[in-house]
Structures are given as C-alpha cells and as structure tokens.
Structure 1
Amino acid sequence: MPDTIAEQTTLPSELFMDIDRSGPIPMYFQVATKIERAIADGTLAPGARLENEIALGERLGLSRPTVRRAIQELVGKGLLVRRRGIGTQVVQRPLTRKVELTSLYDDLERGSKHPGTTLLTREMIEADETIAEMLSLPKGSPVLHVRRVRSSDGVALAVLENFLPQEFADISEDDLKTRGLYQLMRARGTLISVAHQRIGARAASHEESELLDLKPHGPVLTMDRTAYNNNGKAVEFGRHCYRPDLYAFEITLVNN
C-alpha cells in the first residue's frame, strides 16, 4: 500500500495577519492568495495536508463558506487536491521524465525527490508465452517476477511490474525495497544498452486505482519496456502504469 498519510499542517497565523477585513478585496481571495504564497515559498510542501475548513475558519475568525471558496479557488488552479479519506493536500509537482535508458528510481533521485518502494510481489514463476517471447526464452523458463509501488516524497506515483531471467534470482526483497531495479542490475555487471518501449494509456484496474489513490478505473499512463544488454540479450521486461496528474513523458523529435 502507499506510504502513510501525512500529518496535518497548521498554517502559521501570522501568514494571515495583514488580511484587510474591511477593504474591497474579497476575503476568500485574500485567503487563497496567502495559501498560494505559502505553497510557492515552500511553507506548504508538496504532499502537505491542510487542516480542515472548520478548524482553519475558527482559528482565523472566518466563516466556513469563505474558507471553502478559498480552498476551491486553489483546487481549480491545480495547487490543491481533495482526496477521499485524506482531506486537502498540496499537489505534488508533476515528474516530467525524458524517455531515456534510466529507471524511475534513478530519475527521482536525480530530481532531488525521495523515492520510496512498497513491494507487492517477489516470486519465481514459469514464463508464459508472452513473457518468454519478450525475454527470448523458452516457454516455461524460470523468471523472477517483481511488482512494486513506487512513491515520490511519500505519494504513490506508479505500479511497476518486471520480469527478469533466472540469472537475477538472487535479488532479494530487501534489495527491492531499498534500491532501484537498474541499480541492482548494474551491481551485478549488467548494463542496459538498448530498449524498446511502448507508451500508452488505459483505465486503471480496481487494485491500481486503490494503490495510486485514483478514482475507480481512472486513467493511467502506461509503458511497456524490453531492455537489452550490450550483447543484445534481453535482460528485463517491464509493464508499468503511472498517475497521469503526477507524471509525464518528454520526447525530443528531430527532423532528419
């Protein structure tokens, strides 16, 4: 399951000290502007959960409708999001990922994010026809099947499913919880040289919707990738899905 829900963040009262209660600027707009500024300067970090409307209104001496409209103003701007069972959170800054031979874990670390992993599955299975074809193995060959939820700064970002040849069977649960898959492969002397991938979109499954905190069967971005080492051997096949509001692929096109 995704990481633990963040504690509520109480906005400092001094943030609202210069609100003009008798001027022409609507109160909700002033409150929204103050909260937006707190998001911009990092007082409210991505993923922070705001105190509820009633508590904030009582603390500031404002009506609940005023606070609600201020919050809704920021929801409309894409700065806040309301989540079922969680409350109002500051939106995580979307990760824009260049389509390169890197792993999501590596990209998050490079972007000064804090990658986290929840391991769902680690098992040896027999390759079915599809997996065998992708890894250029005989059907029924033993392969390592791994499935994880990858988070960024505590917010679930992707569900990652991977299949690897038997030579990687020694990759442990602890390895998978603490390091990226490509890091683990590099540590075993395997360098990814070429990959073929397909990017798409589909409706999330019921389980994926829960793991990624999406509306039931909401849209997800998808990427299927087969990676090859410098000898041309297939060493990994992955099927991944990503939250579309927090993730995007970036591709540079060149006219030859």
Structure 2
Amino acid sequence: MGAELNIKIDRSSPVPLYHQVVQGIEAAIHSGELEYGSRLDNEIELAGKLNLSRPTMRKAMDELVRSGLLVRKRGVGTQVVSSQVRRRLELSSLYDDLQRDGQKPSTEVLEFRHGPADAEIIQALEMPDGVNVYHLKRLRSVGGKPLALMENWVRNDITEITEEGLRREGLYQILRNAGVNFRLATQRVGATVATAKQAELLHTSPGAALVTMERTAVDDAGRNVETGRHVYRGDSYSFEMTLVQS
C-alpha cells in the first residue's frame, strides 16, 4: 500500500489539474510528509482516489520523474528519491532559504577557530591590521539528511560569534542581528566530485557529484564581511536564476 496523499484538487482553478497534483506532491516531499523512499500507489489507484483521469495522473507523475523527485522501479513502483532544494541566486543564506521553504534546518559545528587569518583570506576580506577572523566549518542538514558542508571566514570586528549561536541560527541572521546590512556579493558556482571525507559527512559515495559555491559578501559600509566555500549534494541541490534580455 502506498503513502497517503492529501491533495486538494480545485476544478475551478485556472491551474491545470495535472499541475495541481505536481504542486501537491512537491509540497509533501519538501515538508517531509513524503519521506525519502516513500512508495506511491500506481497511477490508476491515485487517479481513482483523486477523481482524475489516468492521462492527467500520468502527466503529473511523468513531470515529477523528469524533475528528479520520483523514480519508477520495476517490481517496486514509484518512489520518492529526492527532496531537492532549489535555491535562487540572490544574497541570502542556505539557512534563510530552507526556512523560507518551510523546512527545519539543523547545523553541526565541525570546527570553530578564532585567530589570525592567512594571506589569502586577508586579501579576500581586505582586512585592516589588527583584525582577526572566525574560521567556521559546519554541516547543514534538513530532515535528518546532510545537504551541505560549509566553510566560512568572518572578520571579528563585526560581532562576536559563538558555536552555540551557529547551532541555533544561520550565519547571515547572526550578522544581521549585529546590524550588518548586506549589499552585494561576488559568487562563483561550479561542480566537483566528493572526496572520501566529504562523502562520509554528506552520506553519499566518493566520486558523487557535488555543487560548489564560493562567495564574498559586502555590507552597505563597503566592508567585505565574510567569505566562504560551500559544497552541496548534487542530487539534492540546485541553483535557479532568471535571465532577462536587455
């Protein structure tokens, strides 16, 4: 027996019926109602329960399979395989984006150091003499599933940062609470494959695809506040952007 789906179909809505099904299943996956590995009823049974035609249900399921959220397995049926986080390219943190999507992120602080920065970080943050940095390494998870490994350097003349604070809140929220108004950032998105250590922490396999992101953020006073290097599970994470023809 497949997982129960609580999807309300509004036949008076201009949204196509198949897309209402797609939206309902996506929401159930992202909220954790449908967990990784959950099996769904076959399309005939689902169509009957939702009072929809089989072609409508098949179109919805095909779209969810193409998007990577579901997979069809012979002898097993249709299963949830991913609750991929789609992140817009904007000046926000992963913690912000997960909370905005109604998810509950958790953070494990892997390393926390406070002291002098090396030459590369001093240059990236354009640090004045006498300023040190917080060097942070964290593992971010959602729904108990590891999603990202994050390494950041934050100049210490902005605010005090503690390990306990990092477990409770996202880094950008801590900095906003200290009065930082982020204005712009330089960011590079790329790809790599997981090392043995990264694979162990992210619960994936060595050589698995990872998304990479490097960023240096600047506040409205012109200070380079923080710089970071992050890696994300490629099967659970993507960036979105809108392109405009000028």
Structures share fold, TM-score greater than 0.5: yes
RMSD, matched Cα: 3.2
Q: Structure 2 vs 1, CA of residues 255 and 50 (structure 1 numbering), >3 Å: closer, same or farther? A: closer
Q: 2:86 aligns with which of 73, 80, 96?
A: 96
| Partner SS state of residue 109, structure 1 | helix
- Residues of 1 paired with 2:27 and 2:224: CA distance? 46
Q: Where does residue 79 of structure 1 map in the other structure? A: 70
1:190 to 180, 184, 202: 180
Question: How many Å apart are 1:232 and its aligned residue?
Answer: 1.2
Q: In 2, Cα distance between the equivalents of 1:14 and 1:223?
A: 37
Q: Cα distance 1:42–1:255, how it changes in 2: closer, same or farther (>3 A)?
A: closer
Q: How many equivalent residue pairs?
A: 195
Give per-residue Cα distances to partners, 1:136-161, cap 9 Å, x unaligned.
Answer: 12689521001111112221110111
Structure 1 counterpart of 2:35, from 40, 47, 61: 47
Per the alignment, do residues 141 and 221 of structure 1 end up closer, same or farther by CA in structure 2, a change over 3 Å counting?
A: same
Q: In 2, distance between residues paired with 1:173 and 1:80?
A: 39
What is the aligned-residue identity percentage?
Answer: 39
Change (3 A) 1:160 1:46: farther
Name the aligned partner's letter for residue 47 of structure 1: E
For structure 1, the residue ranges without an aligned partner over 5 or more in a row are 1-10, 16-38, 52-74, 82-88
- Once the two structures are superposed, what CA deviation does each residue of 1:54-87 show, in whole Å capped at 9, x if it has no partner? xxxxxxxxxxxxxxxxxxxxx9975369xxxxxx
TM (normalized to structure 2)?
0.69
Query: Given the alignment of the two structures, is residue 181 of structure 1 paired with residue 164 of structure 2, yes or no?
Result: no
Separation in 2 of the partners of 1:47 and 1:13? 10
Deviation at 1:201? 0.7
User: 1:129 maps to what in 2?
Assistant: 119
Letter of the 2:146 partner, please give it. Answer: A
Gaps of 5+ in 2: 6-24, 40-64, 73-78
2:69 touches 2:82 (CA, 8 Å); kept in 1?
Answer: no
Q: Is the 8 A contact 2:136 2:152 kept in 1?
A: yes
Partner of 1:249: 239
CA distance in structure 1 between the aligned counterparts of 2:131 and 2:240, rounded to whole angstroms:
35
